[in-house]
Amino acid sequence: MNRPMAAEPLLDVRDLSVEFDTRAGRLRAVDFVSWTLHRGRTLVILGESGSGKSVSTQAITGILDSPPGHVTGGQALFDGMDLLTLTERARRGVVGSRISLVFQDALSALNPVHTVGRQIAELYRVHRGTSRSDAMKRAAEMLDRVGIPGARGRVHDYPHQFSGGMRQRVMIAMALALGPEVLIADEPTTALDVTVQAQILELLAEIQADTDMGVVLITHDLAVAAEIADDLVVMYAGRVVESGATADVLGDPQHPYTQGLLQSVPSAERRGQDLPAIPGTPPDLMRLPSGCPFRPRCPHAHDRCVTERPALQPAPGELRFGACHLLDQPLSPEGAAR
């Protein structure tokens, strides 16, 4: 995606920090994370497992497993409100209607003992006071909107009667039923095969093109990010290491982690060659290395990286940020600054 930047911020997350109490002590899962979602754009949060990408959106929407998780700082500004300081009741008035969620595992997110039609219709009845028959009609319209064949009949089916891809469409129908301004989708296509994954991403893009909704999509898959994101936030060890417009970040990655991710994606030019993987594994958040958290895996690490943690700072280009001591020096894949 390469839509022109809209001026209006829709959801503005500033310096969000989240900590967890564990038997081994307190760990910081999200560390001063900031990003801005603009109306009509898709922002992708990209990172490996444990990078803090899901925890940050769970904290914003109030579904963090708490305790043991606690928001320890920051703001999440939406329409003049800070979502992090709303009362539970006020937050319930926003999340689920104006901000909607889609999860990876549609089967466990849907209620197995109610038909999908009833589950969607219930949203109209509770939030809009719609009559039972009108709510059911609207449920069928939503199923049709997300591409479920024979939607009028299928409102009477239960979740287990749908395939994985169709269940994910039902989840998207539920999430979109009340016309949200923000859709947050956490790994919505991870459990699906490649063809169905492409269909679901296409569906999200189509629906977004018809509305002015902002979409936050969380993924570990760079190919998915490249396909759908207008803006990209790359997370590592609970922090943002690089962010900016997708074309800029992927066209000229500034952080060695982003560069390593890009090199490990198959491409036509590298057909038949071994793909270089980033060596090592993500760090244990209880035992982060000194200095830069990416240091043990970084081909460019140098003395300063051992002692000084790089701050997120403006990177070359418009609205680009990076957290690396070598930001102003182009990097070669081999490990030296060019």
* Interacting residues toward ligand SF4 by CB under 6 A: 256, 292, 294-295, 298, 300-301, 305, 310, 324-326
Rounded Cα gap, residues 159 and 114, in angstroms: 8
Q: Which residue in the block uniquely carries the two structure tokens 């395939």?
A: 163
Which is nearer to ligand SF4, 96 or 310 (by Cβ)?
310
Strands of the sheet containing 99-102, edge to edge, are: 99-102, 182-186, 214-219, 42-46, 231-236, 239-245, 321-322, 313-314
Which is nearer to ligand SF4, 126 or 336 (by Cβ)?
336
Q: How far is the CB of 223 from ligand SF4 (least distance, A)?
A: 23
Look at strands 239-245 and 69-78 and give their pairing. unpaired
Q: How far is the CB of 283 from ligand SF4 (least distance, A)?
A: 12
Rounded Cα gap, residues 159 and 170, in angstroms: 9
Distance of CA 302 to the CA centre of its chain: 32
Which is nearer to ligand SF4, 269 or 303 (by Cβ)?
303
Q: How far is the CB of 310 from ligand SF4 (least distance, A)?
A: 4
Which is nearer to ligand SF4, 95 or 301 (by Cβ)?
301
Q: How far is the CB of 301 from ligand SF4 (least distance, A)?
A: 4
Rounded Cα gap, residues 230 and 42, in angstroms: 5
Which is nearer to ligand SF4, 120 or 261 (by Cβ)?
261
Q: How far is the CB of 185 from ligand SF4 (least distance, A)?
A: 29
Q: C-alpha angle 95/99/104, rounded to 5°? A: 95
